Structure 1
């Protein structure tokens, strides 16, 4: 196994139970592993949720974490993947003073160049939304920062694997047990 630290996306398929997030995050905390991002949502199977957790660790650590997660009663299955094995993106929103939209032509150029989308505009502010890789979002943030950002939020990673995951069969068995 490799001792090189890499970015891994850990996908965890679970039942939707209270307290599971605390138990999963405790697994990382006990190992002194910082979670770079965490997203949870419903998966492709009814009544099964999916956690997408991004961490920078060795492959040995990824294997151990996945095994520990799978010991949780509500965890159906956990996987780890490298960036090369996944298709991933993040989402973000910026809240900026409305006057800048009309008074600073450079802002409109930044919006066009970044393929950002204006979500809403009112007298006091406008909201931009953008989707991309983290470095793309950070580049946009740097460009807008000089004009003053009132609020900023970025989602965690969402990801799917490039290869078919056999999880569908396992999840189908889970569905049939419900």
Structure 2
């Protein structure tokens, strides 16, 4: 089996220490977490972990089974990139003078559908939302001008297919 990108969705009770135990599952198998996001889900008191890994399907199946053994985990799923709709966000901090002096930066902002979040005397901040390669392309375009700061979020994703988790979560909510 060859390595590919997988997005793991974990639905769990909001519990202290669970993130540490989940990351330990990856550590034991020497699998790097490429992206991690934790947020509330569509059901009150249920959190959703979105974890991105580059591994084989065999390994991701084993990892999901191990994650589901955690007491607080309600259910875990994995998906390939074709099975989900996903986005990442990034912020770029750049010297203000460049915004007015470099037409390539203005073109990059327009062509990439980026947004200027704020402008100060010394710097301005761009926000870019998209897939990883789109953010990488924006980074590559801005790098020659000097990026003062850069930060990227973890992936957020929803499945294209209906998820059986909805019924499980509703039942969980009724029982709590």
Normalising by structure 2, report the TM-score.
Answer: 0.98
Report how far residue 104 of structure 1 moved. Answer: 1.2
Residue aligning to 2:13: 15
Root mean square deviation, CA, Å: 0.6
User: Which one of the candidate residues 94, 98, 103 is aligned to 2:101?
Assistant: 103
The residue number in structure 1 matching 2:147 is 149
Quote how far apart the aligned CAs of 1:176 are: 0.5
- Say which of 108, 113, 116 aligns to 2:114: 116
**Residue equivalent to 1:174:** 172
Q: How many residues align?
A: 176
SS of alignment partner, residue 45 of structure 1: coil
CA-CA distance at 1:91 after TM superposition: 0.4
User: Within the alignment, does 1:130 sit opposite 2:128 as a pair?
Assistant: yes
Q: Deviations over 1:18-74 (max 9, x none)?
A: 111000000000011111101110011110000000001111111110110001011
Spell out, residue by residue over 1:109-132, the C-alpha distance to the aligned partner (whole angstroms, 9 max, x if none): 110011100000010110000101
State the partner residue of 1:85: 83
Gaps of 5+ in 1: none
**1:139 aligned residue:** 137
